[in-house]
A and B are shown apart, each in its own frame.
Chain A
Amino acid sequence: MRPSLTAKHHLTRTGLRCLPERLRNPNISDLLRGVLNRCSHPGAMAEGKSDMMQLLRWQAPRLLATAIVLALTLASAPGPNAAIAVAESASDIGISSSFVSPSGSHDDQLAHALRLRAEFGLSTDTATVEALESDPTASRGDLGIALSPVEAANIESRPNGTDLEALKSFGADHPRLWGGMYIDQSDGGIIDLAITAPSGVASAEVLAYVPVGIQYRVRTVTYSEASLNAVVVAVSAAMENLGKVGVDVYDVFTDIPNNRVVVDVAANPQLATDVLRADFGPSVAVAVGNAPYPTSCTSRDSCPAPWRGGLDITSVGNGYQQWCTSGYVGRKNSANFLITAGHCYGQGSLYGSFTNWYNGASCCPANKFVGNESSNSYYNHSKADAMAIAISSSAKSNYIYETSVDPSYTLTGAWGNNTVGDSVCDSVAHSNGVYCGTVISTGGSVQYDGRTFDDQTYASIDHALPGDSGGPIFSNHSLFGELTATNGANSWFSTQQDIQTELGVYPCLSLSC
């Protein structure tokens, strides 16, 4: 049984995944290894400032709606969050120039800024944001939106993964007590710590691991993260038998903010709930997923999940259709993404923004849905013209489509330091082939679409057609980057290392990723 997934239903929870690999290797040791790889450290979802952006994009409403207990905070200490709560007005900032977006139309950029601001708990006053976005001197920082000095300082002060190492170790050392943690960016970047004991009992112990100056809250939950992960493993291992009693499981994952295990099923949610809770306990919640599409990968246009590099991908925006090539699958914390070129996202209001991506030449059959644009680094002086499309964690792979004979060429390494003379190849959809050359120069600045992209690598891959954008650049099973541009003679690519820096997405170099 190979329960493939469509992604649509899962996008709402991608940021919460802690899903063991179980689609291809459904034995318990692999399952456990998958859990340990991605779930055992409690900070699996809290490793970067921008990482939580994805999580909160989908989870903020639910998190806020189900906000549980704030047993301990440092509320008495006025942190940066307090400062940001004082809304700044456009007139206070003293800017009145008309807003000209640096990366798209006024409406698109404003909407993007407002969306990110909501996710990060910043002011969403339209006039204020519009004024800031019009200010060429405004700081843009990691978020890529204009920030006031106070906001920029606030974002900079928020914790990241390295700040939380001690808490991760606490969780690892206290698996029965530890309910997990995440960064609640919508609430000023506060660390949400879940423990299974009454907070008063455990707080002193937990507090010793909280870095100085980090805001946090502690809530009491019923289940430890370890116990939830164990349920995930058990459900995954039982999928085949569950199918025999009418419970077709598509996906199962740990939901830290809601302290539960979510199981996606094909149908019959009541039956599934009864069976799963009887077998695995009350921590299981059931959702109805989408139909699988179990076909094989026969061409760049017809290649179902798991997603991979080298596929023809397409999207419609504002009535127009655009094609690009998928680059590779990556991971950020427990979420997975398909990387392609950032300019594939589009240009703004005239040409539209291309957010919903499908595999194939024609758009847009539901059973070929890949995922939605999640983030991109398509801005002036970005080091990577890249876009991350959120995909189901069950649809990840470390494959590149090379030919119909070898549609699953594996990536097992990622090359970080391109050197002149390196041999590199691409695998591209419109040209429908693999084309190779050598690195001619590194660290170049390339201009197109009114933007300059820095630290680009120039290679003598002399065949690039429209629609090849985003294709993987690789050699000998190592990933170098993704194709972005051409001058008709040779090609440019963004390095995978810069894509990591810009988007926080690391290439999948194994199936379990």
Chain B
Amino acid sequence: MRTPFPAQSGDKILPLSTQAPATPPPSGVTVACPVADYGSITMLFDGTDVTFVQGSTQTDVPLIWPRGFSLVQRSGVAMLLAPDGSVVLQSGQSRDDIGSSGFDVCLVGETFYAPSE
């Protein structure tokens, strides 16, 4: 089971849509991530809510992040944290290597986040 990185003192935890616990695949089946692309995704923060906007269409994309991802407000900046505490995105930033198909993110750059119990 993957858990969120512990919040630092002063962090305000913000709500984030994350994936439901996954059932382990049947014996002999491997889990992988399809490599379709959302294009450039920008994280926006209005002081209350965070949205993820697709750059090309300016459409809010209701991404569902892997279990263990978390969202915190730190020094007025919203930060999307991976389970290891690394910053995946912060408000105002974009990245174009977030992938999967559908809204369930399973690939950030070359890092694969398998569904987790």
| B-binding residues in A (CB < 8 A) | 316, 319-324, 341, 343-344, 346-348, 350-351, 361-363, 385, 430, 444-449, 452, 458, 463-469, 483-489, 492
Q: Which residue of A lies closest to B98 (CB)?
A: A466
The smallest C-beta distance from B32 to any residue of chain A, in angstroms, reads: 4
Residues 91 to 116 of chain B near chain A (Cβ within 8 Å): 97-104, 106-107, 109-112, 114
B29 at the interface (CB under 8 A from A): yes
The smallest C-beta distance from A239 to any residue of chain B, in angstroms, reads: 38
Residues 4 to 43 of chain B near chain A (Cβ within 8 Å): 25-26, 28-39
Q: Select B112's contact among A341, A446, A486, beta carbons within 8 Å.
A: A486
Using A445-B28, A446-B29 as known contacts, say yes or no to A469 and B56 having CB atoms under 8 A apart: no
11 contacts between A and B (CB under 8 A): A322-B38, A323-B38, A323-B39, A430-B37, A452-B25, A465-B99, A465-B110, A467-B35, A484-B35, A486-B33, A488-B112
Q: Which residue of B lies closest to A452 (CB)?
A: B29
A488 to B57, CA, bound (A): 28
A30 to B106, CA, bound (A): 49
Task: Convert B36-76 into 0s and 1s, putting 1 for each residue whose CB lies closer than 8 angstroms to a CB of A.
Answer: 11110000000000000010110101100000000000000
Q: Which residue of A lies closest to B27 (CB)?
A: A445
Q: Which residue of A lies closest to B59 (CB)?
A: A319
Q: Select A485's contact among B35, B39, B54, B103, beta carbons within 8 Å.
A: B35
A362 to B57, CA, bound (A): 10
Q: Select B37's contact among A324, A346, A347, A385, beta carbons within 8 Å.
A: A324
Q: Select A488's contact among B26, B54, B56, B111, beta carbons within 8 Å.
A: B111
**Chain A residues positioned under 8 Å from B37 (CB to CB):** 322-324, 430, 465-469
Using A343-B34, A485-B35, A487-B32 as known contacts, say yes or no to A449 and B101 having CB atoms under 8 A apart: yes
- Taking each of B30, B37, B102, B111, which has the highest tally of chain A beta carbons within 10 Å of its own beta carbon? B37
The smallest C-beta distance from A261 to any residue of chain B, in angstroms, reads: 40
Contact B32 A465 (CB under 8 A): no
The smallest C-beta distance from A72 to any residue of chain B, in angstroms, reads: 50
**Chain B residues positioned under 8 Å from A362 (CB to CB):** 56
**Chain A residues positioned under 8 Å from B56 (CB to CB):** 321, 362-363
A446 to B35, CA, bound (A): 13
Contact B35 A322 (CB under 8 A): no
**Chain B residues positioned under 8 Å from A343 (CB to CB):** 34, 36, 101
Q: Select A319's contact among B29, B34, B57, beta carbons within 8 Å.
A: B57
Contact A447 B29 (CB under 8 A): yes
The smallest C-beta distance from A320 to any residue of chain B, in angstroms, reads: 6
The smallest C-beta distance from B107 to any residue of chain A, in angstroms, reads: 6
- Taking each of A320, A324, A483, A489, which has the highest tally of chain B beta carbons within 10 Å of its own beta carbon? A320
**Chain A residues positioned under 8 Å from B25 (CB to CB):** 447, 452
Contact A465 B102 (CB under 8 A): no
**Chain B residues positioned under 8 Å from A467 (CB to CB):** 35-37, 39, 99
**Chain B residues positioned under 8 Å from A458 (CB to CB):** 30
Closest 10 CB pairs of A and B: A466-B99, A488-B112, A467-B37, A347-B102, A466-B37, A485-B32, A323-B37, A343-B101, A469-B35, A343-B34
Using A320-B54, A321-B39, A323-B37 as known contacts, say yes or no to A447 and B101 having CB atoms under 8 A apart: no
Q: Select B57's contact among A320, A324, A464, beta carbons within 8 Å.
A: A320
A323 to B97, CA, bound (A): 11
Contact A447 B31 (CB under 8 A): yes
A453 to B59, CA, bound (A): 31
The smallest C-beta distance from A90 to any residue of chain B, in angstroms, reads: 30
A446 to B25, CA, bound (A): 9
The smallest C-beta distance from A114 to any residue of chain B, in angstroms, reads: 23
The smallest C-beta distance from B37 to any residue of chain A, in angstroms, reads: 3
A484 to B37, CA, bound (A): 12
**Chain A residues positioned under 8 Å from B36 (CB to CB):** 322-324, 341, 343-344, 466-467, 469
Contact A350 B107 (CB under 8 A): no
A430 to B36, CA, bound (A): 10
Contact B57 A465 (CB under 8 A): no
The smallest C-beta distance from B103 to any residue of chain A, in angstroms, reads: 6
Contact A466 B112 (CB under 8 A): no
- Taking each of A346, A448, A486, which has the highest tally of chain B beta carbons within 10 Å of its own beta carbon? A448
**Chain B residues positioned under 8 Å from A322 (CB to CB):** 36-39, 101
Contact A350 B103 (CB under 8 A): yes
**Chain A residues positioned under 8 Å from B32 (CB to CB):** 446-448, 484-487, 492
Contact A320 B112 (CB under 8 A): no
Using A319-B59, A321-B54, A466-B107 as known contacts, say yes or no to A385 and B34 having CB atoms under 8 A apart: yes
The smallest C-beta distance from B71 to any residue of chain A, in angstroms, reads: 21
**Chain B residues positioned under 8 Å from A346 (CB to CB):** 101-102
Q: Which residue of B lies closest to A324 (CB)?
A: B36
A352 to B114, CA, bound (A): 23
Contact B106 A448 (CB under 8 A): yes
**Chain B residues positioned under 8 Å from A449 (CB to CB):** 34, 100-102, 104
A445 to B36, CA, bound (A): 19
